[in-house]
Amino acid sequence: MVLEIFVALLLGVFAGTFTGLFPGIHINLVAAGLLALVSSGYFAGIDVVVLAVFVVAMAVTHTFIDFIPSVYLGAPEEDSFLAVLPGHKLLKEGKGHEAVVLTLYGSLAALPVIIIFSLVFVYFLEGFFDFIRDFIPYVLLFASFYLIFREKEFLIAGMVFLLSGTLGFFSFNLPVREPLLPLLSGLFGMSSLIVSFRGGFKIPGQETNRLKDVLIDKKKLFKAFLAASVVAPLSSFLPGMGAGHAAVLGSEIIGEDEKDDKSFLFLVGAISTIVMALSFVTLYVIERARTGAAAAVGEILEKVSLSNLILLEAAILISGIFAFFVGVWLSKIFARNITKISYSKISVFVVLILFIVNLVISNFLGIVVLITGSALGVFAILSNVRRINLMGCLLVPTIVFYLV
């Protein structure tokens, strides 16, 4: 049994590395495929706990690795899209590897936070969630208005928020297969790649600094760590509040005077891993899945016991440590080879891959969503409003669901 669990963990790290590196191949798709095989009886001789460990290791590894294509290729997923702009800024300075390592440091620093808040959630989350349940849509409304009115061009920001929210609402209520894939690929992936076509950007030679040479001011590091520890746990159980919103709210805690690209990359790395890992604890405490991976674990185990949770926590820690070193190694490979191909060709290639993946996994309506989202994302970029306002695509449907 111990050997089976360890093998499942290693396979999960491998699968999470694969999904993290290839935009559009999300962990939810792999988890859905696994569930289909389980229901068909293909894993009848394997303990369900072993399968759950595989999913958890895959999900945690994914949060470490998926910043690599975000930084080097500009092809983000829902947990890494905010890393694109600061990551590309460092990429232009020849510090793409440093940008990735900073997110990896954040994810690694998240591991002790996960253990601490797992204990807090087990003892206090159920009562707290029952208390705030009726206030959830108003909390989401407040967060939305706060982000909009933080913009200089708040009217444009509000329009972007409402348009993306409308797109999200129709995406979830029309027969769009795997609606999150075309929605997020268009709003955050395709749009930034399309805008990059006109820039004539050529990737400079990249440094591959040793880990000890990737430095961040200790004061800024502490503030980023504290901010992640405050906002990420909330986003792990509040519906509609994802890692993206947690990162923006966390940057507000850091403060304008202290915020810079390096501390922000550390922040988004930490938040991504905390939100994912605590979603499994949320599944145990209030029996609600806030991520696709947690939903898969819930279906595999049917009911998560305390002993299951302890084992999954161990899987989170071990897979996270493995994923850190895998991420550093892969980032060096990217840094040494990214300059051998023109960025415009890379962008065209990634756009084609995203289009093909959406065409295969989604349907015709999904392609319409992809194109519409891409146009809206381009508009947001050219309007100089923060693209976090595009997260209205998730917030508006959630608010409508709770209020109607």
- Which residue would you say has higher pLDDT here, 58 or 345? 58
Q: 250: how many CB neighbours lie within 10 A of its CB? A: 28
DSSP classification of residue 239: T
> Whose structure tokens read 């449907």?
397
Spell out the residues 6+ positions from residue 319 whose beta carbon is closer than 8 angstroms to its own. 9, 12, 13, 16, 56, 57, 60, 61
Rg (Cα) of the chain, in Å, rounded?
20
What does the mean pLDDT of the chain come to? 81
What predicted TM-score, i.e. pTM, was given to this entire model?
0.78
Task: Average the pLDDT over 188-195 and give the result.
Answer: 74
Q: How much of the chain exceeds pLDDT 90, in percent?
A: 24
What is the structure's pLDDT at 257?
46
- Whether the Cβ atoms of residue 115 and residue 313 lie closer than 8 Å to each other: yes
Alpha-carbon distance 366 to 369, whole Å? 5
What is the structure's pLDDT at 80?
44
What is the structure's pLDDT at 258?
44
Write out the residue range of the structural domain in which residue 362 sits.
Answer: 2-403
Range with lowest mean pLDDT among 62-71, 124-133, 193-202, 272-281: 193-202
Q: Which tokens hold the place of 296?
A: 């898969």
- Which residue would you say has higher pLDDT here, 133 or 20? 20
Calculated CA dihedral for residues 396, 401, 402, 404, nearest 10 degrees: 110
Task: Average the pLDDT over 371-378 and give the result.
Answer: 91
Total of domains in the chain: 1
- Which residue would you say has higher pLDDT here, 23 or 138? 138
Q: How confident is the model at residue 44 (pLDDT cuts 50, 70, 90)?
A: low
What is the structure's pLDDT at 322?
96
DSSP classification of residue 204: P
Q: Which tokens hold the place of 178?
A: 């795997």
What is the structure's pLDDT at 160?
92
Alpha-carbon distance 19 to 99, whole Å? 20
267 burial type by CB count under 10 A (0-12 exposed, 13-18 middle, 19+ buried) = buried
Q: Which tokens hold the place of 403?
A: 């209020």
Alpha-carbon distance 260 to 369, whole Å? 33
Residue 159 has pLDDT above 90, yes or no: yes
Task: Average the pLDDT over 135-147 and give the result.
Answer: 82
The segment with the largest mean pLDDT, out of 78-92, 185-199, 218-232, is: 218-232
- Whether the Cβ atoms of residue 51 and residue 8 lie closer than 8 Å to each other: yes
Task: Average the pLDDT over 115-134 and give the result.
Answer: 84
What is the tens place of the pLDDT at every residue in 205-238? 777 777 777 767 777 778 888 888 888 887 777 7
Q: Return the closest-CA partner of residue 395 out of 295, 292, 272, 245.
A: 245
Q: Which tokens hold the place of 6?
A: 């360890």
What is the tens place of the pLDDT at every residue in 251-293? 767 665 445 677 888 888 899 899 899 989 988 888 877 777 8
Alpha-carbon distance 403 to 134, whole Å? 10
Task: Average the pLDDT over 105-134 and give the result.
Answer: 87
Tell me how many degrees the CA angle 253-259-265 measures, rounded to the nearest 5: 95
* DSSP string over 325-365: HHHHHHHHHHHHHGGGS-HHHHHHHHHHHHHHHHHHHS-HH
Q: How confident is the model at residue 385 (pLDDT cuts 50, 70, 90)?
A: confident
Q: How much of the chain exceeds pLDDT 70, in percent?
A: 83
What is the structure's pLDDT at 225?
85
Task: Average the pLDDT over 106-115 and give the result.
Answer: 93
Task: Average the pLDDT over 185-197 and give the result.
Answer: 75
Q: Which tokens hold the place of 327?
A: 């991420």
Alpha-carbon distance 78 to 106, whole Å? 17
